Structure 1
Amino acid sequence: MLADIAAVVWGFAIGGYVLPRDESVAHALLQAQMLIPLFLTVALYNSSYSIRALRDKFSGIILPLQALAVAALGVALLAYLAKTGGDYSRLVFVSGLLVSAIFLVPARLAMYGFVRWSCGNRVENILVVQDGGPPLAIDDAYRVEARAAGFTPVLNDPVALDHLSRWFEPMDRVIVSCADDKRFAWAQALKGLAVEGEVVDQTVSRLGALGARRYGANGSLLVSHRPLGLRMRALKRLFDLALTIPALILLAPLMIVVALIICLQDGGPALFIQRRTGRGSRFFSVFKFRSMRVDQADASGEQSASRTDLRITPIGRFIRKTSIDELPQLFNVIKGDMSLVGPRPHAMGSQAGDKLFWEIDERYWQRHTLKPGLTGLAQIRGHRGATESESDLVARLQSDLEYLDGWTIWRDIGILLLTLRVVIHERAF
């Protein structure tokens, strides 16, 4: 914290010094005095001074820079509301911010190096006690065998508890891996040792538990949650509508022409409507331009299209190659069934090899926690087209699950931009 304060003070001092006005340094230091309290407040809340910032070099640099940017916006807003903006030099303020940001980076790198020099890779003291339970793989943790160290969680033996306490007192966390019949004794012992203690329970791993809750005398394991909070869902929806509505207006002439050509080619309907699985594993009707002959359309999706598929019409082959057949799904986005970016929706009969998708990997249904998308992480990585083997499905699923983990609006923007490279694709047939 002291290093960050020094970086801001020196940053504003130098930023003011390089300007021609005589009073620039004093003026810059006055602005630094206004900025620092707000900067420290934001930095404390965004974890700039946390174990995470010590453990991860990138976080240790980015977090204080974010705090500096937010604090600068706060100072600017306060100056505007107080109508004192004219009393302060914008040039001094901007130059001070830039130099402060430049100073923060080497200051944080030096702190990171100092921590590594003084503490090694251990920024936390974690002790793993093995007492007959499954072995734990935790990087840089201390490990000890309970029997060899004489650890016994005997609640009616003060000497045994004193022995445990002297071992555990320097530790930030103590994790005990023991047999099932010892879990309760270890839990009770840890509660009286003034330590952050954990007892391994393999049920947590088997169920994929995310946390625990208590309801009176009963407990429960939290095994699922909504992937996005209300604000993030609203942001994603607004983003979809902001792009989809103009896109529909711009693409309307093209879509009308394509629909007419499809109808004139064989007299069949322009749209192909198929039931697919969407958010929350609920069915919805997806819209596509029909690319196959009317009497050979595959409503269940059991047979993936191939490069030499005789079911595909001449215009169908073109619109599939250029991904134009997917454009009606913009109406699915308007309806709220789909999003611009997300896991692609699959037909119920879709197979990889000779197995249905959900028979291949037990994680398959987890991909439906978000709305399906017109494009996704799997698509920009080239995982599209026929699923000829189980590995094809696993590769797509892995990308879908990766997308669900830590959604941001910036990732959606990046995926949309990268999608432009794969609109025309060798596996789009």
Structure 2
Amino acid sequence: MKKTTFAVAIGTSTLSLGISHQASAEFFDDSKASFEARNFYFNRDFRQDNAPQSKAEEWAQGFLLRYESGYTEGTVGVGVDALGLLGVKLDSSPDRSNTGLLKRDRETGRAQDDYGELGLTAKLRASKSVLKVGTLLPKLPVVQYNDSRLLPQTFKGGHLNSLELDGLTFDGGQLKQVNQRDSSDYEDMTIASGAARAITFRTGTTSDEFNFGGATYKWTDSLSTGYHYGELDEFYKQHYFTVLHVLPLGDKQSLKSDLRFARSTDEGTSNVDNKAFGAMFTYTLGGHAFGLGYQSMSGDTGFAYINGTDPFLVNYVQIGDFANKDEKSWQARYDYNFASIGIPGLTFMTRYLSGDNIDLGVGREDGKEWERNMDIAYIFQEGALKNFGVKWRNATVRSTNFGSDIDENRLILSYTLPLL
């Protein structure tokens, strides 16, 4: 995707807002831009009997161009952001498609040769408050965009972020449509479902309205609490409470406590009824981090969230979210940062999760599942390869009485070049 496309789009937007040369000095001086090339190989083998396909395997190249302007001078500053996305097929076939990397033809299911998006966002700043309207990448407890494949998921809507009071962060707004990570088309939103989640709604129902609002207060450098509300029209309402605390224990030691509770209820045509509790405790010692997590689902259904997004759950990992009806799950995790022994940029993570007590309906035995993950990543810190990253992600999933048995590998090569 050519950078000149961005220049034309940004210039047009600036002129349409009537920005004078003098007033726009900070608009350009404070601008930031970067270019990222992301090469992604994805392989998922299905191990269960009678699987609809033996494996999903594709290879693709992505390009991401990001631009963030500064603001014009004055009581109300004006700015614009731009996001250019392009995905290119390197290898795929009909019997190996549906990895989430590439856009597929709706009729044949074949991966298209390329796909992309140009997103523009207008923004206004007054004091310590910023209003953005246009293409959004929300990252809040009630809605988090997904960036786990070649290109990120994006939304259209409006988002107000305010820092007017010391320690208090307020967010509010509305999302209208979503562009999924393997698509170039905006569409109305729906809810994540699945038989083990037990969520039902009227066939064909979609929503063009997700309202959200909430606040996080930082009591001290070590303690913050939050409340957020989300409502997907025709599907669900959700209240989300969070507590995050870090307790220093001595030289290079700490204990982090991450507590989350969400209450979701029905709205419109659905039957959503869920209480989700999660707790993650992480002990850090130098470059080592040891984590233990627990997650519990209760109510008539599993956890509710917008289809395609990342649910804000302590046991949402590489493949599973462990958020089915009545599911109880735990997690053991270990991280190591090799910077502690003089190798900055090299990191390692492994974890194991187990879930059981999944209600699969009358006459069926409860479901069980487990997942094991391993990540190893390195980002070059200097020299000609500075900002070049290599990451290998491995996962194994096994389930009883429901779901798929999966062996998965992802190899991601990325290079980020600052432009401004």
Question: Taking structure 2 as the reference length, what is the TM-score of the superposition?
Answer: 0.18
Higher percent of residues as strand: 2
Answer 1 or 2: higher relative contact order, Cα 8 Å, separation at least 6: 2
Higher percent of residues as helix: 1
From the CA coordinates, give the structure whose radius of gyration is larger: 1
